[in-house]
């Protein structure tokens, strides 16, 4: 076994030092009936590297790779181009094979990038402070609702009909078990929802999303004013973080907590994970914030350095009184985010956002020209909703057979809802060429 450096001679000599005859003696506390005499039955023995590569490569080729086809899926996960240097830095053993920076003197690399990440997230969202990442956008959203509950001591959360239904489900699951009253609104494909009227003095928070699942953009300034007047918080969710390169940030609208899915920057699609949740809030709420935090300090010689801080909020100190049970975050994904965003910079990030928007505008115009196809959006960033004359899921399946991945049928996310089955979410990023777009148009012409 190539990963195991002990030889039989080593093992014998070590057993002699320990003073036992065999390894089995070390397992003497295991109930006898549970001690297996040999390898677990029914499983194969070890394979060489070449064999493992063959096995996994074979599985991988059974999938239709996004980069090989015209590709227009979004709905919370986006295909963007990540510079090659990002992954190469990530693969440096000093980053890849390190643990949570409990020993700051030998973890300043990890700690400094976390501090940079927190700053970047605060800047993008327009908020005061951010944590060192969450598992993903949906878990971050659930944590934000629980945080609002802790801050307001209120029990009710209103979830927008524009919120990604998976985010809604994770919030319902997580906060439901805590006994919160989660009021999820019906899907809002038209983007006309107004939640201000629903906020009352039992409301802990309102959770809204921009761009919404259906692509609509909103300014939540009025909602924030209204909610704050009732003592409720507003949580703004962003599932496509590239939109923050172009649009007014939630912080400027008055949001109290901003949660984003950060996958778009630095991270591959990965069939849904690992991703990275961004979590930002107001300074005054920082001690109610879940997750790890990196803070600036000085060392014994007075030099600037970084440490994990405010850990009295966390489970390993506070145990059942912790703000969250979260322990591992998405460190490497956060690093990818930080490197990619550093490469983009102000100019690059803003241009990337404008390219995404421009490509989507171009595609929307092309699709709007198709007979029977209606673009539902007055506003959007890089994703919008089209109404097809047929069931979207069937259309998508047919186009997939032609090696075109056309978008996400809304019915995949809302299978039980009437009136949504003809809706298709279509995303367009900097990775889509005009010939990709034309292939989609031709494909739709054929199958519609």
Partner 1 sequence: QEEALIFELDNPGVVGVDLPEPATTKTKLGGVKARGRIGLPDLAEPQVVRHFTRLSQKNFGIDSTMYPLGSCTMKHNPRLNEKMARLPGFSDIHPLQPESTVQGALELIDQLAHWLKTLTGMPAVAMSPGAGAHGELCGLMAIHAALEARGEGHRKRVLVPESAHGTNPATAAFCGFSVDTIPAEDNGRVSVEAVKAKLGPDVACIMLTNPNTCGLFEPQIKEIADAVHEAGGYFYCDGANYNAIVGRVRPADLGVDAMHINLHKTFSTPHGGGGPGSGPVVLSAALAPFAPLPYVVHGEDGFRLVEHAADAEGKPFGRLKTFHGQMGMFVRALSYILSHGADGLRQVATDAVLNANYVLASLQDVMSAPFGGPCMHEALFDDGFLKGTGVTPLDFAKAMIDEGFHPMTMYFPLVVHGALLVEPTETESKSTLDQFIATLRHLAEKAKAGDAAFFQAAPRLTPRRRLDETAAARKPILRWTPPAQPVQAQAAE
Q: Which residues in the 13-52 window bind a copy of itself by CB under 8 A?
A: 49-50
Entry field: residues in the chain? 448
Phi, psi of 326 (to 5 degrees): -65, 145
Identify the three-state secondary structure at position 71.
strand
Residue 320: which of partner 1, a copy of itself, none does it interact with, CB under 5 to 8 A by kind? partner 1
Compute the least distance from the CB of residue 38 to partner 1, in Å: 7
Residue 13: which of a copy of itself, partner 1, none does it interact with, CB under 5 to 8 A by kind? partner 1
Residue 130: which of a copy of itself, partner 1, none does it interact with, CB under 5 to 8 A by kind? partner 1
Q: Which is nearer to partner 1, 200 or 403 (CB)?
A: 403
81 in contact with a copy of itself (CB under 8 A): yes
Q: Which is nearer to a copy of itself, 21 or 49 (CB)?
A: 49
Please report the sign of the dihedral spanned by the C-alpha atoms of residue 78, residue 377, residue 356, residue 138. negative
Number of residues engaging a copy of itself in binding (CB under 8 A): 14
Q: Which is nearer to partner 1, 315 or 370 (CB)?
A: 315
Q: Which is nearer to a copy of itself, 40 or 50 (CB)?
A: 50
Tell me the Ramachandran region of residue 223: left when phi exceeds 0, alpha when psi lies from -120 to 50, beta otherwise: alpha
Compute the least distance from the CB of residue 49 to a copy of itself, in Å: 5
Q: How far apart are CA 303 and CA 108, in angstroms?
A: 12
**C-alpha closest to that of 257 among 231, 230, 238, 229:** 238
Binds a copy of itself by CB under 8 A, chosen from 23, 91, 222, 229: 91
Q: Which is nearer to partner 1, 98 or 230 (CB)?
A: 98
Query: What strands, in cross-sheet order, belong to the sheet with 129-130?
Result: 129-130, 277-281, 257-261, 233-238, 203-209, 156-159, 181-184
Q: How far apart are CA 130 and CA 278, in angstroms?
A: 7
- Cβ 122 vs Cβ 116: under 8 Å: no
Compute the least distance from the CB of residue 81 to a copy of itself, in Å: 4
Residue 70: which of a copy of itself, partner 1, none does it interact with, CB under 5 to 8 A by kind? none
Binds a copy of itself by CB under 8 A, chosen from 69, 198, 343, 441: 343
Compute the least distance from the CB of residue 371 to partner 1, in Å: 22
298 in contact with a copy of itself (CB under 8 A): no
Q: How far apart are CA 151 and CA 177, in angstroms?
A: 18
Residue 362: which of partner 1, a copy of itself, none does it interact with, CB under 5 to 8 A by kind? partner 1
Q: Which is nearer to partner 1, 205 or 265 (CB)?
A: 265
How many other C-beta atoms are found inside a 10 Å radius of the C-beta of residue 66? 15
Binds a copy of itself by CB under 8 A, chosen from 25, 55, 83, 219: 83
Residue 260: in which H helix or E strand, if any?
Answer: strand 257-261
Compute the least distance from the CB of residue 420 to partner 1, in Å: 13
Q: Which is nearer to partner 1, 21 or 201 (CB)?
A: 21
Pairing of strands 233-238, 257-261: parallel
326 contact partners, CB below 8 Å, separation of at least 6: 134, 135, 143, 290, 291, 292, 314, 315
Compute the least distance from the CB of residue 51 to partner 1, in Å: 8
37 contact partners, CB below 8 Å, separation of at least 6: none
Compute the least distance from the CB of residue 447 to partner 1, in Å: 14
Q: How far apart are CA 165 and CA 217, in angstroms?
A: 17
300 in contact with a copy of itself (CB under 8 A): no
Residue 431: which of a copy of itself, partner 1, none does it interact with, CB under 5 to 8 A by kind? a copy of itself
- Cβ 330 vs Cβ 277: under 8 Å: yes
Residue 136: which of partner 1, a copy of itself, none does it interact with, CB under 5 to 8 A by kind? partner 1
DSSP letters, 129-165, are EE-S-BS-HHHHHHHHHHHHHHHH---EEEE-TTS-H
Q: Which is nearer to a copy of itself, 242 or 373 (CB)?
A: 242
Residue 245: which of a copy of itself, partner 1, none does it interact with, CB under 5 to 8 A by kind? partner 1
Please report the sign of the dihedral spanned by the C-alpha atoms of residue 344, residue 345, residue 351, residue 354. positive
Judged by CB under 8 A, the chain residues 389 through 448 that form the site for a copy of itself are 430-431
Identify the three-state secondary structure at position 304.
strand
Compute the least distance from the CB of residue 83 to a copy of itself, in Å: 5
The token duo for 446 is: 């054929």
Phi, psi of 183 (to 5 degrees): -105, 100
Residue 315: which of a copy of itself, partner 1, none does it interact with, CB under 5 to 8 A by kind? partner 1
Interaction site with a copy of itself (CB under 8 A): 2, 49-50, 53, 81, 83-84, 88, 91-93, 343, 430-431
């Amino acid at each position: 076994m190539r990963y195991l450096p002990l030889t039989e001679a080593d093992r014998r000599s070590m057993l002699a030092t320990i003073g036992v005859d065999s390894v089995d003696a070390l397992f003497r506390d295991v109930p006898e009936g549970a001690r297996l005499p040999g390898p677990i039955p029914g499983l194969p023995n070890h394979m060489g590297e070449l064999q493992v590569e063959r096995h996994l490569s074979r599985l991988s080729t059974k999938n239709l790779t996004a980069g090989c086809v015209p590709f227009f899926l979004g709905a919370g996960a986006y295909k963007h181009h990540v510079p090659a240097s990002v992954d190469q830095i990530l693969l440096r053993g000093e980053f890849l094979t390190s643990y949570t920076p409990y020993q700051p003197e030998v973890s300043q690399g990890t700690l400094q990038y976390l501090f940079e990440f927190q700053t970047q997230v605060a800047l993008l969202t327009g908020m005061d402070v951010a944590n060192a990442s969450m598992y993903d956008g949906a878990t971050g959203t659930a944590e934000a609702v629980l945080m609002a509950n802790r801050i307001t001591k209120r029990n009710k959360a209103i979830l927008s009909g524009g919120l990604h239904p998976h985010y809604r489900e994770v919030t319902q699951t997580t906060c439901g078990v805590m006994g919160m009253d989660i009021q999820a609104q019906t899907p809002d494909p038209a983007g006309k929802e107004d939640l201000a009227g629903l906020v009352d003095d039992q409301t802990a928070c309102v959770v809204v999303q921009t761009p919404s699942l259906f692509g609509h953009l909103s300014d939540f300034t009025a909602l924030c004013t209204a909610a704050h007047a009732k003592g409720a918080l507003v949580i703004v969710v962003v599932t496509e973080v590239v939109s923050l390169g172009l649009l007014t940030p939630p912080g400027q609208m008055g949001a109290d907590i901003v949660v984003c899915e950060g996958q778009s920057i630095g991270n591959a699609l990965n069939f849904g994970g690992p991703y990275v949740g961004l979590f930002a809030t107001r300074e005054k709420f920082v001690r109610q914030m879940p997750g790890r935090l990196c803070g600036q300090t000085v060392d014994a010689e007075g030099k600037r350095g970084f440490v994990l801080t405010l850990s009295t909020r966390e489970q390993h100190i506070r145990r059942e009184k912790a703000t969250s049970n979260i322990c591992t975050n998405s460190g490497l994904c956060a690093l990818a985010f930080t490197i990619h965003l550093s490469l983009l910079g102000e100019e690059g990030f803003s241009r990337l956002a404008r390219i995404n928007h421009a490509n989507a505008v171009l595609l929307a115009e092309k699709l709007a020209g198709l007979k029977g196809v209606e673009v539902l959006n007055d506003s959007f960033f890089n994703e919008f909703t089209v109404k097809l004359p047929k069931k979207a899921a069937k259309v998508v399946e047919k186009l997939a057979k032609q090696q075109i991945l056309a978008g996400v049928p809304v019915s995949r996310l809302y299978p039980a809802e009437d009136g949504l089955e003809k809706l298709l979410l279509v995303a367009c990023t900097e990775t889509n060429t005009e010939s990709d777009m034309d292939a989609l148009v031709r494909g739709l012409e054929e199958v519609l």
